[in-house]
Amino acid sequence: MAPKISPDRLLQIGFGFWPSKTLLTAIELGLFSELAKHPLDTASVQDRFGFHPRSTADFLDALVSLGMLARKGTKYVNTPETAIFLDRAKASYVGGILEMCSRRLFGFWNALPEALRTGMPQNEAKSGAGNPFDAIYKDEAGLRGFLTAMTGLSVGSAAAIAKKFPWKKYKSFVDVGCAQGAVPVHLALAHKHLQGAGYDLPPVGPIFLDYVRSFKLENRVKFLPGDFFKDELPSADVIVMGHILHDWNLEEKRMLIAKVHKALPRGGAFIVYDAVIDDKRQKNAFGLLMSLNMLIETPGGFDYTGADCKGWFKDAGFRQSRVVPLIGPDSMVIGIRCRYSRGPRWNCFSTCGPPPARRGGRCPPGRRGSGRRSGTAPFRRR
């Protein structure tokens, strides 16, 4: 007997903005942070947040039904999930990115039909404000909020990268486009031998250093100011670039990858992480929706498959690459610069398999498949 077809899933997706905006509003108002201090009843919430009597009980009970709050007697409390991840007082807070969704993205997505027809951004740029990053970086309060949001987006992947990459083989790293510093902090906490740095535009520096100092890592994690479009990248054994590559068009993506290849020592590693789309483009819904978000937010950005990224890596001269799932929709693509390669035209496979037989591409005598450890270049600027 054929399964019964129902419209339930269609309706659930279509009405998905109801629960989404309910949760986002609670986060934006700081409800979970307030409940982390002590449980509150309906009247107390109404008084604390200035809600109308008509709205309060339905709002709170809707959050209960969504599994975001629990009710004990007449008082409301956080669930284990919201207590850990939606309390602004905790380092584990991921609500920054959700606050940005509520304040910025929710409204911009109303213009998705226009974006699909025109291929143009539908954010501040639509009203002549220019690149949204320019506006964000000029305003200290806005920049701090944006960088906190990026921490919320990256903290889970940062912890996974610390566990899933063979850091014992390397001594130094730099996170290009480091934002507040979630990745450098997680790497330094997990691996005591590492020396690292964050690289970003100069206004990010004080915010990055405040975050690093809060973990007492200022002696091992530095900030390097620069513009990855205008300047040479600093060199380290490992260069990380997270939630950056998808912001840019194909030409810009290739340029950034080539810059990284140039900055790495031989044997060095490049880690890119994003919501990497599955190669068949049918399973990672978040990655595909993130690519639509890049349509809304950027002039040419888009998300990509693992196969896409590995192809760009190969074209830039990386001779070994692989895709490693991280957490949720995120994956990292790891590229290794060949220990004996002189650039993209070389084809040495000392770490990837037998070298080609043609002249000029051979490994040095006695080095073929030597299995020596990857690059251990000191952290430095090029």
- Integer CA distances (angstroms), 291 to 78, 99, 247, 296, 304, in order: 33, 20, 9, 9, 8
358: confidence class by pLDDT, cuts 50, 70, 90 = very low
User: Considering the domain boundaries, does residue 307 fall inside one?
Assistant: yes
211 shares its domain with 80: no
Lowest mean pLDDT among 215-229, 304-318, 356-370: 356-370
41 shares its domain with 138: no
Considering just the CA atoms, what is the radius of gyration of the chain in Å? Answer: 23
Buried b (16+ CB within 10 A) or exposed e, 116-132: eeeeebbbbbeeeeeeb
17 shares its domain with 139: no
User: Considering the domain boundaries, does residue 373 fall inside one?
Assistant: no
190 shares its domain with 128: yes
pLDDT at residue number 28 = 96
**Domain stop point among 43, 59, 93:** 93
Return all residues near 367 (Cβ < 8 A) that are at least 6 apart. 339, 340, 350
**Domain stop point among 93, 114, 137:** 93
32 shares its domain with 159: no
User: Considering the domain boundaries, does residue 2 fall inside one?
Assistant: no
pLDDT of 382 strictly over 60:
no
User: Considering the domain boundaries, does residue 274 fall inside one?
Assistant: yes
User: Considering the domain boundaries, does residue 377 fall inside one?
Assistant: no
Element spanning 175, H or E: strand 172-176
Element spanning 240, H or E: strand 238-242
pLDDT at residue number 64 = 98
24 shares its domain with 69: yes
pLDDT of 128 strictly over 90:
no
The amino acid occupying position 292 is L
Question: How far apart (Å, rounded) are the C-alpha atoms in residues 352 and 197?
Answer: 28
30 shares its domain with 123: no
pLDDT of 126 strictly over 60:
yes
Tokens of 197: 């740095």
User: Considering the domain boundaries, does residue 81 fall inside one?
Assistant: yes
User: Considering the domain boundaries, does residue 343 fall inside one?
Assistant: no
Domain of 52: which CATH number? Answer: 1.10.10.10
Beta bridge partners of 242: 273
pLDDT per residue over 317-346, tens digit each? Answer: 998 999 999 999 999 999 999 876 554 444
Domain of 270: which CATH number? Answer: 3.40.50.150
**Domain stop point among 61, 93, 125:** 93
367: confidence class by pLDDT, cuts 50, 70, 90 = very low
User: Considering the domain boundaries, does residue 353 fall inside one?
Assistant: no
Range of the domain at 18: 11-93
Whole-model pTM: value is 0.85
102 shares its domain with 219: yes
Active site residue 246: yes
Domain count, the chain: 2
- Integer CA distances (angstroms), 135 to 74, 180, 282, 346, 358, in order: 45, 17, 35, 42, 52
Lowest mean pLDDT among 9-18, 31-40, 358-367: 358-367
144 shares its domain with 51: no
pLDDT of 368 strictly over 50:
no
3: confidence class by pLDDT, cuts 50, 70, 90 = confident
160 shares its domain with 268: yes
118 shares its domain with 76: no
Question: How far apart (Å, rounded) are the C-alpha atoms in residues 163 and 152?
Answer: 19
Question: How far apart (Å, rounded) are the C-alpha atoms in residues 364 and 381?
Answer: 28
The separation between CA 138 and the C-alpha centre of its own chain, rounded to angstroms, equals 22
What percent of the chain has a predicted confidence (pLDDT) above 90?
Answer: 75
Lowest mean pLDDT among 10-14, 57-61, 169-173, 344-348: 344-348
pLDDT at residue number 319 = 86
HSE of 354 in the Cβ direction (CA atoms, 13 Å)? 3
pLDDT of 85 strictly over 80:
yes
Are the beta carbons of 356 and 369 closer than 8 angstroms?
A: no
pLDDT per residue over 165-179, tens digit each? Answer: 999 999 999 999 999
Question: How far apart (Å, rounded) are the C-alpha atoms in residues 169 and 70?
Answer: 46
Average pLDDT over residues 37-50: 97
Active-site annotation holder among 38, 191, 193, 246: 246
24 shares its domain with 149: no
Average pLDDT over residues 290-307: 96
* 110: DSSP letter: G
Mean pLDDT over all residues of the chain? 88
